[in-house]
Amino acid sequence: MSGVVLHSLDLHRERRCASCSQRVAIVHTDAPNRMSWVRRGPAMARQAGADLGSEMDEILSRHGAALQRCAPRTWQRFQRVRASYYFLEGRVWAGIRQAFSCLRVTPFSGEVWGQLICGLAGPGWFARIRSRRPPPT
């Protein structure tokens, strides 16, 4: 997913793009058997965290300022995702710093506080807890 996002952001930065306020598609994200949701076991989650963490770093370094300015909710979500990847990689202190960075923007976010508490338990526990979460909607 991150590679697609990065290419899309690069395209928007390099080309003149227009946005459309009309609905052009409906995406149903609530089907329990949809193909885009694969429950990852703890080992797979830890490997994904290591693989996707560098991609998220690249997205944030190349487009973070524009995302923060133009799409602040997406920027905040990417910040939270990066904290998760740090915890999954076993880089607990980096995860703590990233989570506190998120809390400066959204201090009452239960998701970030939960992420921080679970991340302090270590990468193995964080991966086990994260692998039990319900599919995103």
The enclosing H or E element of 129 equals helix 123-131
pLDDT tens by residue, the chain, 137 residues: 556 666 566 666 676 666 666 777 776 666 666 655 556 677 777 877 878 888 888 888 888 888 888 888 888 999 999 999 999 999 999 999 999 999 998 999 999 999 999 999 998 888 888 877 766 55
Give me the residue spans of the domains in the chain: 41-137
User: What is the maximum alpha-carbon separation in the chain?
Assistant: 46
Q: Distance between CA atoms of 46 and 30, rounded to whole angstroms?
A: 25
Which helix (H) or strand (E) element contains residue 22?
none
What CA–CA distance (Å, rounded) separates 109 from 91?
22
